[in-house]
Amino acid sequence: MEESIPDTAISGTLCSSLYKLKDIDNTYGGFFIFPEISVRVEGDFRLKFKLYDITFGQATLMKCTYSDVFTVYSSKRFPGIEESTFLSRSFSDQGARIRIRRGSKMLNIS
């Protein structure tokens, strides 16, 4: 069951502009990039994303969607860092500021 993330437990880039980038099929699309979100409590969560149209100082909510569920581990239970996705690498190659990991670093837990 996913939980609500307390406001004090989430940090990083929580707002994004629209980026025109090519996807994995080499087709242009509009993407919102959140490269550095950190959650400081263990649990299963999903993020809520809101899209606003900001015109003449007025903000109008246009759409709302949710991320897939993700798990935040304690440092003791953390299984390791996975390799960056092809889409992330593609965005980075196009100039988006995303930290890319080449290869996975799995921990040996015995």
pLDDT digits (tens, 9 = 90+) for 73-84: 998 998 887 888
CB-based contact 68:85 (threshold 8 Å): no
How far apart are the C-alpha atoms of 108 and 62, rounded to whole Å? 46
CATH number of 10-94: 2.60.40.3960
Give the tokens for residue 82. Answer: 């996975």
Q: Could you tell me the pTM of the whole model?
A: 0.72
pLDDT tens column, 9-62: 899 989 999 999 999 999 999 999 998 889 999 999 999 999 999 999 999 999
Domain ranges of the chain: 10-94
